[in-house]
């Protein structure tokens, strides 16, 4: 117990838990829109596509300043999104195929640049690879402050554009007929996803970021049919898994934070899929059995009646 | 040494691009992205059982986990509780996380780190030699990938019509008595086998590019399956040769360079393809606009 108290008052733990918790909240909210637009894998592609941007930004300024690196990631992420949308809209190429080609060639470019950087005589370069796996424990107060500022901006934007984003998420064509600029909305949504993803890169890494976008949204979707409730729940689930993952990885020895967060999140998703009172697997099974029984009863009654009639 | 790197690159590219053709046509390339990540868990688990990084059981275990991934994703998709791509995005990070946790906790002192699995380095591939009876038979990866390439070629030649019909019209295939499910899983087994074989030379993230890129180039350039396979193979060879050369000139990651070249050829095909290219589409639109104007003018004159 004392150990726990000591942990909670630990400065590093507070910072990291605050960072991952807020990141979880943010990706829960943004991820809900992404999954509603059926673009949840875009997050996965973007997190890979951010790598060349990070490497290029480092090459240009020569030091590891988080703001510039994230700026580079933002730009290469936007380019990748535009490419994916362009290819899949202007040709018969399927969205998935465009996604995987862009993802791997951008990641390849990132590796090429990183290898080049490693060959340079620059002492600053060490640690750029941490963007691939993420290293939550190395979060600094300034990083968390930046995350809080940008994240709060995104949340305010979501509130301000509430009805626009809502109608766009469910029916983009209808949105256009209402006179909203769908292109601008698409851009805002993409930018929000990219910003969230690149903040996640630092703490959970390229590969696990997609889980953080999709997981909370899917889990929250099982408990409600209303967008507002789903958003709040998704944010909550994301936050809980962020904090719980950080907690578990700090009490155990040699447990990486990012993967632990994903494990906790997957547990929440599984519980939601199985136990949700409206759509869950258990309630579905019960309903099916009930229906089957009712149906058998119906048939039996019919049989009885026809037998009576025959007599 | 140099020749060996070229050879390995070409063989890996060929082996990957063949199943890629059918992945692209089925639009299930992100499934292969998931597989390439989850085979890491298979490698780790199999390693804990046999305790030998060179054991062939590693390949078997990893392939099994790859197929298990596909099965789990599809089971989730069938519940209709979440969309298809969400199912992919939930399953593979979970498997991957378990793998990373296992590696950091229990395999810290073995040469088994996520780095080498994810990013691989072709330049180091020739260092692992195949020695039989004290004789040197070239790099190990070359042999394993050659075997995988042969398996892929055999599968596709033997099941060509089955693959074709299940890809383009699964309903008809089922009605005719072919099993789309069986072929789907057979294809996915091949994909995971290829991904496992290629991971330590190419790295599992770039395997996706090796699988999808050439096939997508082929898809953009033709409407016929046989021709598409041919173009895919040619593109795969071209990409790997140019990529390796460029990597040597610029002194950088070989697999990364091949992935970049793959992306570029794909983009070129997308722009300049005579039938499906976007420049052609723009030209067609211009022509149509002109024709329409002409028609409108002539109908005015007539009236």
Nearest to B89 among A90, A129, A214 (CB): A214
Q: Which residues of B touch A264 (CB under 8 A)?
A: none
Q: Is residue A58 included in any domain, yes or no?
A: yes
Q: What percent of chain B has pLDDT over 90?
A: 12
Q: How many domains in chain A?
A: 1
Binned at pLDDT 50, 70 and 90, residue B34 comes out as confident
Helices B180-202 + B254-272 axis angle, to 10: 130
Of A143, A169, A127, residue with least CA distance to A22: A143
| Dihedral sign, Cα of residue B137, residue B141, residue B144, residue B147 | negative
Residue in chain A lying closest to B246 (CA)? A112
Q: Are the C-beta atoms of residues A33 and A165 closer than 8 Å to each other?
A: yes
A177 falls within a domain: yes
Q: What is the pLDDT of residue A124?
A: 59
Closest-CA distance of chain A to residue B176, Å: 27
Q: Which residues of A touch B82 (CB under 8 A)?
A: 35, 218, 221, 273
The answer to whether residue A157 neighbours chain B at the CB level (below 8 Å) is: no
Among A80-84, B5-9, B56-60, B122-126, the range scoring the smallest mean pLDDT is: B122-126
Residues 84 through 113 of chain A touching chain B, CB cutoff 8 Å: 87, 90-94, 96-97, 99-113
- State the pLDDT at residue B290: 92
pLDDT value, residue B135: 66
- pLDDT score for B261: 92
What's the Rg (C-alpha) of chain B? Answer: 22
The answer to whether A80 contacts chain B (CB < 8 Å) is no
Nearest CA in chain B to A89: B278
Which band of pLDDT confidence, cut at 50, 70 and 90, is reported for residue B253? confident
Cβ contact, residue pair A101, B263, below 8 Å: yes
Look up the CATH number of the domain holding residue A79: 1.10.3470.10
Is residue A16 within 8 Å of residue A139, measured between CB atoms?
Answer: yes
Q: Collect all residues of chain A within an 8 Å Cβ-Cβ radius of residue B96.
A: 207-208, 259, 262
First to last CA, chain B: 78
DSSP H or E stretch at residue B180: helix B180-202
| B276:A92 CB<8 A | yes
Is residue A111 in a domain?
A: yes
3-class SS of residue A93: coil
B102 close to A (CB below 8 A): no
Q: Are the Cβ atoms of A43 and B100 closer than 8 angstroms?
A: no
**Interface contact A211-B213, CB threshold 8 A:** no
Are the C-beta atoms of B266 and B209 separated by less than 8 Å?
no
Q: Which of A105, A116, A217 sits opposite B262 (nearest CB)?
A: A105
Q: What is the pLDDT of residues B119-145, one digit of tens each?
A: 566 666 666 666 666 666 677 778 888
Which CATH number is B2-212 given? 1.10.3470.10
A38 domain-assigned? yes
Minimal Cα–Cα distance from A188 to chain B, Å?
A: 21
The domains of chain B are located at: 2-212
Give the tens place of pLDDT for each residue, A214-227: 889 888 888 888 88
Neighbours of A167 (CB within 10 A): 16
Residue-level pLDDT, tens digit, chain A, 311 residues: 666 667 667 777 788 888 888 888 888 888 888 888 877 778 778 888 888 888 888 888 877 777 788 888 888 888 988 888 888 887 788 888 888 888 889 988 988 888 888 777 665 555 666 666 666 666 777 778 888 888 888 888 888 888 888 888 888 888 888 877 878 888 888 888 888 888 887 777 777 788 888 889 888 888 888 888 888 889 899 989 988 888 888 887 777 888 888 889 999 988 888 888 888 888 888 988 999 999 999 998 888 888 888 77
Residue A224 placed within a domain: no
Strands B129-132, B135-139: pairing is antiparallel
What is the domain range of residue A198? 2-209
- Rounded CA-CA distance B232/A245 in Å is 44
Do B64 and B80 contact (CB within 8 A), yes or no?
no
Picking from A103, A112, A254, the nearest residue to B253 by CB comes out as: A112
Q: Does B113 score more than 60 pLDDT?
A: no
Q: How confident is the model at residue B92 (pLDDT cuts 50, 70, 90)?
A: confident
């Amino acid at each position: 117990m004392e150990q726990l108290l000591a942990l909670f008052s630990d400065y590093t733990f507070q910072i990291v838990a605050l960072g991952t918790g807020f990141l979880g909240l943010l990706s829960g909210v943004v991820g809900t829109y992404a999954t509603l637009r059926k673009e949840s894998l875009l997050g996965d592609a973007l997190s890979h596509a951010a790598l060349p941007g990070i490497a290029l930004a480092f090459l240009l300024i020569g030091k590891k300043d988080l703001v510039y690196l994230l700026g580079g990631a933002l730009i290469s992420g936007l380019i990748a999104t535009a490419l994916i949308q362009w290819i899949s809209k202007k040709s018969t190429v399927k969205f998935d195929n465009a996604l995987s080609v862009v993802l791997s060639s951008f990641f390849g470019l990132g590796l090429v640049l990183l290898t080049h950087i490693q060959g340079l005589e620059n002492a600053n370069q060490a640690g750029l690879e941490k963007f691939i796996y993420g290293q939550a424990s190395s979060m600094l107060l300034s990083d968390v402050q930046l995350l809080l500022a940008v994240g709060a901006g995104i949340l305010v934007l979501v509130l301000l554009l509430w009805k626009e984003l809502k109608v766009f998420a469910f029916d983009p064509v209808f949105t256009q007929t209402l006179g909203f600029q769908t292109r601008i909305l698409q851009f805002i949504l993409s930018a929000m996803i990219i910003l969230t993803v690149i903040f996640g890169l630092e703490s959970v890494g390229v590969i696990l970021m997609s889980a953080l976008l999709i997981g909370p949204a899917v889990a929250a979707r099982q408990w409600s049919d209303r967008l507002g409730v789903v958003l709040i729940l998704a944010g909550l689930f994301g936050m809980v898994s962020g904090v719980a993952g950080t907690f578990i990885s700090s009490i155990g020895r040699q447990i990486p934070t990012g993967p632990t967060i994903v494990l906790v999140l997957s547990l929440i998703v599984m519980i939601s899929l199985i136990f949700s009172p409206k759509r869950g697997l258990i309630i579905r099974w019960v309903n099916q059995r009930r229906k089957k029984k009712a149906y058998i009863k119906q048939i039996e009654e019919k049989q009885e009646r026809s037998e009576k009639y025959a007599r | 040494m140099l020749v060996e790197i070229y050879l390995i690159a070409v063989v890996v590219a060929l082996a990957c691009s063949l199943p890629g053709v059918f992945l692209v046509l089925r639009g299930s390339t992100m499934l292969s992205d998931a597989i390439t990540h989850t085979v890491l868990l298979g490698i780790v688990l199999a390693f804990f059982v046999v305790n030998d990084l060179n054991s062939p059981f590693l390949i078997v275990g990893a392939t099994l986990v790859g197929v298990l991934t596909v099965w789990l994703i599809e089971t989730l998709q069938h519940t209709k509780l979440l969309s298809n791509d969400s199912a992919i995005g939930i399953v593979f990070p979970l498997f991957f996380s378990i793998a990373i946790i296992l590696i950091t906790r229990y395999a810290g002192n073995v040469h088994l780190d996520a780095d080498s699995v994810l990013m691989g380095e072709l330049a180091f591939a020739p260092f692992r030699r195949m020695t039989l009876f004290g004789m040197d038979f070239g790099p190990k990866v070359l042999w394993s990938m050659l075997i995988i390439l042969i398996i892929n070629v055999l599968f596709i030649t033997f099941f060509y019509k089955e693959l074709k019909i299940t890809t383009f019209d699964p309903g008809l295939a089922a009605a005719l008595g072919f099993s789309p499910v069986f072929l789907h899983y057979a294809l996915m087994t091949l994909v995971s086998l290829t991904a496992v074989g290629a991971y330590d030379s190419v790295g599992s993230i770039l395997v996706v590019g090796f699988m999808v890129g050439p096939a997508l180039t082929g898809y953009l350039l033709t409407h016929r399956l046989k021709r598409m396979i041919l173009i895919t193979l040619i593109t795969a060879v071209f990409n790997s040769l140019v990529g390796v050369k460029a990597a040597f000139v610029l002194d950088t990651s070989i697999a990364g360079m091949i992935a970049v070249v793959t992306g570029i050829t794909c983009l070129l095909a997308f722009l300049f393809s005579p039938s499906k290219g976007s420049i052609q589409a723009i030209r067609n639109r211009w022509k149509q606009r002109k024709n329409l104007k002409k028609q409108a003018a002539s109908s005015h004159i007539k009236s």
